Chains A and B, each alone.
Chain A
Amino acid sequence: MTVANPQQTFPGRIMEVTLPAGEGGRSVSVGGQTALPLLPEGERPNAAAIGIEIRTGDEDLPPSLSHAFGGKGTDPAVLAGNLVEESGAQFLFLSLAGCHPDLGGHAVSRGAGIVRDVLQAVPCPAIVGGCGEEETDALLFPAVAEAAQRPVFLSYADEKNYRLVAGAALAYGHGVVAWSPIDINMAKQANLLLGDIGVPPHRVLIDPLTGGLGYGLEYTYSIVERIRLAGLSGDAALARPILCHLGDSWKAREALDSAEESWGDVIARGRRWEEATAWACLAAGADLLVCRHPDNVRTLRGMVGAPWR
């Protein structure tokens, strides 16, 4: 070859983080790489990990998801067990949306009970998400941290609640997902703050907020690229695995609307809406993806594994 070598090397390495499994499950490691995603260069000990989200609470499912979930059960433990097994998800993201006052208003104790049941039924690694309502979450995270009989990750700690979430995580040996609103400085700040109060770096994942396709994805795409480039270039506080939660892609009208015939079948389209979001996040540098559609979990797992290692 007379042209130059296009491969790139970087001085930094992304921290390797392991999400532990329960008995009989397989733990998942992510990070550890010295290269940009999806390229045959540098060291890349781990492929991106693909997880599936299960949500509690009274929400209407998008048509594409209700089609996919049909007959898989409604009890969270049953549904989680079925979906994880069938899709091959490497981890479970359990969102306690049902504790939100508008989505069921489950008591905190009920949320914690669901966590216990689900973790028992499904041995894969787990991330437990709050309901998004500040005051409820302040009670929920400590209760979840206690109820979880094995180490999980708590999602999420932000600027406001990080002491509480990190405190709960530290007391019971859990990890923390550090959330920031599409802002590289805030992402860095969050990791530094968590470090200051003693959360070990190998128990932190970055959640940069993932805008769905057509609804802010481009901002996320560029922030993820910048976080990854900064981490590989030697900024230790940003050299952490990045988790992209694709939930926003299911809020897009284009993923839900069955009335617009010229947009194509809504069941196929909804799934594609999430899938395109997923590929863009992977291209930018995501190490963990949280999907809702089991077919997307299967597709992504099948493709990001072996051939890209």
Chain B
Amino acid sequence: MALTALEIYKLLPKTNCKECGFPTCLAFAMQIAAGKAGIDQCPPASDEARETLGAASAPPLPKVVVGTGERAVILGDEVVLYRHEKTFYHPTAFAISVSDALDGDAFRDRIRRIRSLSFERMGERLAVDMVAVRCDSGDPARFAAAAAAAKEGAGTPLLLSGPCDALAAALPSLGPDRPLLCPPVGEGDAGARLAAPLGLPLVVRAKGIDGLEKALAAARAAGVRDLVADPMPASLPDAVSLSVYLRRLAILHRAREVAVPTAFDLGNGFPSPFAAASLLVTKYGSLLVLDSDDPADIFPLLTLRQNIFTDPQKPIQVEAGIYPVGKATASSPVVITTNFSLTFFTVRSDIEASRVPAHLLIADCDGMSVLTAWAAGRFTGESIAKILSESGIAGAVSHRTLILPGMVARLSGKIEELSGWRVLVGPQESSALPSYLRRLPPAAFAPADA
């Protein structure tokens, strides 16, 4: 349960020594209550205060790290039920499965296809996060070799799914890479004994919330700290309600017994995996295992994840300024748009596709799209005229012609009047920019007469 500022204050030394950086203990207590400071910042605090406040300020859904280094995957560590309340921090991780029963070429081909599931959108790389190696062969040595090959080929953290003798065979070489272990239902205790001494994260599988509560308690008792829960839904509706209920228990009820990140195996014949994955991206799945390696399935899912896990308070945006595209010179066209990432990257890639070098002028519109910024009064004749005079673009080109997004054609008169630049109204959709730019006569960008 969250503590109030007053309850926190009672636990502090009440000496107002200021070592925490705040003027009084009460001021510091208010910061802790608001989640903006932690008890670690108060050196004189008692052990009791540390323990009580440490527990109270721990995230309601603990964090589990899989893998190491740059590609490590963070599961859990969320604080709200609805993204509009704050934001969702750690995107649902996707693992694509590979079977250790595949032989040489087929195995390598599968890994290659998984690795190519990587797409660029809005300046971000959207990619599959993990490879799930399934032990279908029943042969520990084969599984260990497959897991090592998957690690080598894909470069992502691994989910190792198989009986404990197979997991044990893979661990000597892969343990240091922090794979996520996923033993079968009946082998939970043995799995916990494997994970605990190495400090590895473990998927606990059990039917429903009751089952998980017991199984998680057993794994904790065996010394495993980083736990992930698979509630083993039988159907799509089951998967959604279990995921929602587990998240509600963690966030609303602070039920620490079951408050761990979740994993759902949507492969192995799970019905309607695409629908299930879509719903679990929106509804709290921490890790989803899929069998499909078809980009037509994975690209939409990764895009959905990108959408849901953006900060609702702050659109993804780029810096305002002048961006040369290609080898832009003093007689290259000047194209303007807003600093919303989606808009910027769309327009920039369309200019690139035209192979016509250009100066892309980016207006600071608080990360709003062209029409949204126009409707909000942030992309206006006045603001554009100001950018033309203050951005330095006038020094970068010898002409005075601006290409305006077609959607805001109505601004052209005002811009011409205020700035003295000539305005060409571009197409509505930037996808038409390549043919538009290629058709522009060079005379359009002849130096302005002094």
Residues of A within 8 A of B (CB): 1-4, 6-8, 38-40, 181, 213-219, 221-222, 225-226, 229, 253-254, 262-266, 268-269, 272-273, 275-276, 279-280, 282-284, 299, 303, 307-308
Contacts and interface: CB of A to CB of B under 8 A. Distances in A.
A97 B275 CA distance: 30
A217 B296 contact: no
B296 A276 contact: no
A272 B82 contact: no
B84 A226 contact: yes
Nearest to B245: A6
Contacts of B82: 222, 225-226, 229
A303 B236 contact: yes
Interface string B301-316: 1011011101010000
B213 A1 contact: yes
29 contacts: A1-B210, A3-B209, A3-B257, A3-B258, A6-B253, A8-B248, A39-B240, A181-B375, A214-B121, A217-B307, A222-B82, A225-B82, A226-B82, A253-B346, A254-B303, A262-B116, A263-B299, A264-B299, A265-B296, A268-B294, A269-B296, A272-B300, A276-B278, A279-B282, A280-B304, A280-B307, A283-B278, A307-B235, A307-B237
B303 A222 contact: no
A39 B248 CA distance: 12
A272 to B, nearest CB: 5
A218 B296 contact: no
B304 to A, nearest CB: 5
Given A39-B241, A221-B308, A299-B272, 11 more contacts: A3-B249, A4-B255, A38-B283, A214-B342, A218-B83, A221-B282, A222-B82, A268-B297, A272-B297, A280-B281, A280-B304
Contact of A299 (B244, B275, B297, B308): B275
Report, as a range, how many residues of chain B touch the other chain.
35 or more
From B272, B283, B342, residue with most partner A Cβ within 10 Å: B283
A282 B119 CA distance: 26
Nearest to B246: A6
A282 B278 CA distance: 10
B374 interface: no
B11 to A, nearest CB: 26
Contacts of B258: 3
Contact of B307 (A3, A4, A7, A218): A218
Nearest to B84: A222
B304 A276 contact: yes
A225 B81 CA distance: 11
Given A1-B209, A218-B312, A222-B83, A264 B297 contact: yes
B380 interface: no
Contacts of B354: none
Interface in B112-148: 116, 119, 121
B308 A38 contact: no
A272 B308 contact: no
A6 B249 contact: yes
Nearest to B369: A216
Contacts of A272: 274, 296-297, 300
A266 B300 CA distance: 12
Contacts of A7: 245
Given A213-B304, A264-B295, A264-B299, A303 B275 contact: yes
Contacts of B279: 38, 279, 282-283
A64 to B, nearest CB: 10
Contacts of A4: 249, 253, 255
Given A40-B241, A222-B83, A303 B272 contact: yes
B431 interface: yes
From B272, B282, B342, residue with most partner A Cβ within 10 Å: B282
Interface in B141-166: none
Given A272-B296, A303-B275, A3 B255 contact: yes
A284 B237 contact: no
Nearest to A222: B84
B237 A38 contact: yes
